[in-house]
Amino acid sequence: MVRPADAGLLDELASTPLSGLSRSLGIDIEKWLPVASSPLPITLRVTPNRHDIEWTRNMLESIGGEKIPWMVMSESWVMPFSKGDYPSDEAKKIITLLHETGRITRQEAVSMLPPVVLEPKKDDLVMDTCAAPGSKATQLAEAVPNGLVLANEPSSGRLNLLTTNRGRLGIENMLIMQHDGRHIGRMPEPGVDGVIVDAPCSGTATTRKNRELWKSWTPKVGRSLFKLQSDIATRAAQLLRPGGKMVYSTCSLDPVENEAVVCEILQRCPWLELTNIDADRLFPTLIYHRGRNDWPILDESAEVVDWEGEMPRLVGLSEEMLNPYQRGIESPDLSKTIRVHQHENNTGGFFVALFEHVAERTPEGIARSMILHRELNREPEELPRRKRSKHTTIPASKDVVDDICKKWGIDKDEFAWWQRGKRVNLSSRMAYDRLYKPIVVNKKGDYWPGDDFHPLKIIHVGQPTFTDNKGIWRPRQEALGLLRGRISASVVEIDQETMISLIQGNAPLREEFVTEIERGSFVLKCGEFFLPAWVAARVSLMLDEKEKEIIRMKLGIESEEEEE
């Protein structure tokens, strides 16, 4: 059970600007405050298509987990405890191991809304403009198994989190790039099919995990983010093909960051149309509210400022942040957007809006950023390629691909193959066909000749799958889920007794191994278990301790720590 704050603290929090913001939105403070000040229950997504998904479900049920009833488009669970209040060491161990081995992804329940609202087709090219740490980007990747996710993150530190989550889940249909979201590079025509802008925000709806907000937030915080949010969304809209859809979302309650930004996006991007979110179909039983067009102006104490026809002098306030009536403009139908409040579903709070690039408003048939503003009265010029370094990812050579496919019995046509130093990555073919191979035209009409991702700053392509070890391509552990069912060679069957001996740390001499085996890299198979191994003088498992512990749990074997 998630515990609320004590009565004394509730009285203190009731007088904060955050509570004033909630009152101004008509939220029942007496019902909202105890929940908004309590820790969030742990929620998570179960990774689809894992061979042992039923075992994962059983483990979650064993510690009290239940499926989230309103999240029907993505298998999601809620636990009866918070991150800081595990009922036992065993429960903590189970959640940690399942997450770190890629069987689940810990994610706030409301954070799962945007990918579901976008409803991408399975073969779409979709972009996440602010992707780290990667929960929504990986959720998108699962929704487009035959497509591709362009996951963008400007911060190098946060980009590493995104990369870690991509690898943990073994996702091959994702490219990770690094751009300021306001200046994402040009790409081949016609643009992306869908985009999520989960914009940087004040986080006023995240009080259940960010307690410092109760003391730090005042209305000027949301106003300081308005331009950044609008600029990121505008750039995303410029890269969206006609007919494509864009989701704008925040984890904020503040209308200045939500409905006001929606109005600004529509003012800047007349090719977009606000689309109704069919929440009853997408999220049955979720309690939500429709967006509003009558938000008040708040002073720094979050007290409502009466509107007298003139904009009051408040820090950071500009005309674009006023409601449509105050601005004297026609209001878009903001009831097409949705709001979720913390107390009504035992979640965090959230805001989501859905837009469509109306095809008839862009007869050129390409994203707005790709339309030349003036006719080119000369032959287009080929622009110079960027210089490549040892860190540049390039298509793997035919010899390398043939060597790997011969060794492991893989159908080479199923993937695009990439190489970076001694590492080979696999990605969906769309990465090559739609982003790498085509030319890219700049705003003057000149072009980069293709066979390069430039001017997109791609940092990682697909899933690291093989590593060159002394001239032998060995599979990486995190790619075994991707390779399962796809490799038909270099697989050696072993019995359970041998497997147990290996996971307990034994490394037998090659000559004494249970079956004849050559030197090099192999996958040892025992029932459902795939174990990468390196064979030299001895047979050694290339499996980390977390995956070994999963095997022990499945077989009911005590770990070495428990034995001690």
Residue 201 annotated to the active site: no
pLDDT at 564: 45
pLDDT at 33: 97
Residue 561 binned pLDDT confidence (cut-offs 50, 70, 90)? low
pLDDT digits (tens, 9 = 90+) for 247-290: 999 999 999 999 999 999 999 999 999 999 999 999 999 999 99
Domain shared by 145 and 11, yes or no: no
- Domain-located, residue 31: yes
Domain shared by 121 and 97, yes or no: no
284: domain CATH number is: 3.40.50.150
pLDDT at 386: 83
Rounded to 5 degrees, φ, ψ at 149 are -110, 125
- How does strand 394-395 pair with strand 416-420? antiparallel
Domain shared by 153 and 192, yes or no: yes
392, amino acid identity: T
Domain shared by 529 and 398, yes or no: no
Domain shared by 206 and 342, yes or no: yes
pLDDT digits (tens, 9 = 90+) for 63-73: 999 999 999 99
Is pLDDT of 115 > 70? Answer: yes
pLDDT digits (tens, 9 = 90+) for 23-44: 999 999 999 999 999 999 999 9
The arithmetic mean of pLDDT across residues 221-231, rounded, is 98
Determine contact, residues 85/39, Cβ cutoff 8 Å: yes
Domain shared by 125 and 272, yes or no: yes
Residue among 130, 201, 251, 269 flagged as catalytic? 251
Rounded to 5 degrees, φ, ψ at 240 are -90, 125
Rounded to 5 degrees, φ, ψ at 280 are -65, -35
pLDDT at 387: 85
Domain shared by 174 and 189, yes or no: yes
Distance CA 196, CA 182 (A): 14
Is pLDDT of 295 > 60? Answer: yes
Q: From residue 329, give the alpha-carbon distance in Å to each of 234, 243, 494.
A: 20, 27, 73
Q: State which of 409, 443, 474 marks the end of a domain.
A: 474
Is pLDDT of 112 > 50? Answer: yes
Q: From residue 365, give the alpha-carbon distance in Å to each of 190, 207, 330.
A: 7, 43, 29
- Domain-located, residue 384: no
pLDDT at 542: 95
Domains contained in the chain, number: 4
Tokens of 1: 């059970």
Strand partners, 466: 424, 475
Is pLDDT of 2 > 90? Answer: no
Determine contact, residues 243/357, Cβ cutoff 8 Å: yes
Domain shared by 12 and 90, yes or no: yes
Domain shared by 118 and 79, yes or no: no
Distance CA 169, CA 149 (A): 14
Torsion of CA 458, 462, 465, 471, to 10 degrees: -40
pLDDT at 3: 62
The arithmetic mean of pLDDT across residues 181-200, rounded, is 97
What letter would DSSP give residue 477? G
- Domain-located, residue 377: no
Distance CA 377, CA 316 (A): 45
Distance CA 441, CA 186 (A): 8
pLDDT digits (tens, 9 = 90+) for 531-560: 999 999 999 999 999 999 999 999 998 765
Is pLDDT of 189 > 60? Answer: yes
Torsion of CA 105, 106, 112, 114, to 10 degrees: -80
Q: State which of 429, 446, 474 marks the end of a domain.
A: 474
Is pLDDT of 221 > 90? Answer: yes
pLDDT at 373: 83
Distance CA 188, CA 190 (A): 6
Q: 48: domain range? A: 7-106
Q: State which of 474, 500, 530 marks the end of a domain.
A: 474
- 492 sits in which H/E element: strand 491-493
Distance CA 393, CA 423 (A): 10
Domain shared by 275 and 343, yes or no: yes
Mean pLDDT of the chain: 95
pLDDT digits (tens, 9 = 90+) for 131-174: 999 999 999 999 999 999 999 999 999 999 999 999 999 999 99
- Domain-located, residue 21: yes
Q: Within a 10 A sphere around the Cβ of 169, how many other Cβ atoms?
A: 25
Percentage of residues in the chain with pLDDT exceeding 70?
A: 98
- Domain-located, residue 326: no
Strand partners, 105: 45
496: domain CATH number is: 2.30.130.10
- Domain-located, residue 152: yes
Domain shared by 187 and 273, yes or no: yes
- Domain-located, residue 546: yes
Position of tokens 């300021």? 180
Residue 385 binned pLDDT confidence (cut-offs 50, 70, 90)? confident
- How does strand 192-198 pair with strand 240-250? parallel
30: domain CATH number is: 3.30.70
Query: Max alpha carbon distance in the chain (Å)?
Result: 90
Distance CA 441, CA 222 (A): 37
pLDDT digits (tens, 9 = 90+) for 446-463: 999 999 999 999 999 999
- Domain-located, residue 65: yes
Query: Is 62 exposed, middle or buried (CB count within 10 Å of its CB: 0-12, 13-18, 19+)?
Result: exposed
Domain shared by 164 and 231, yes or no: yes
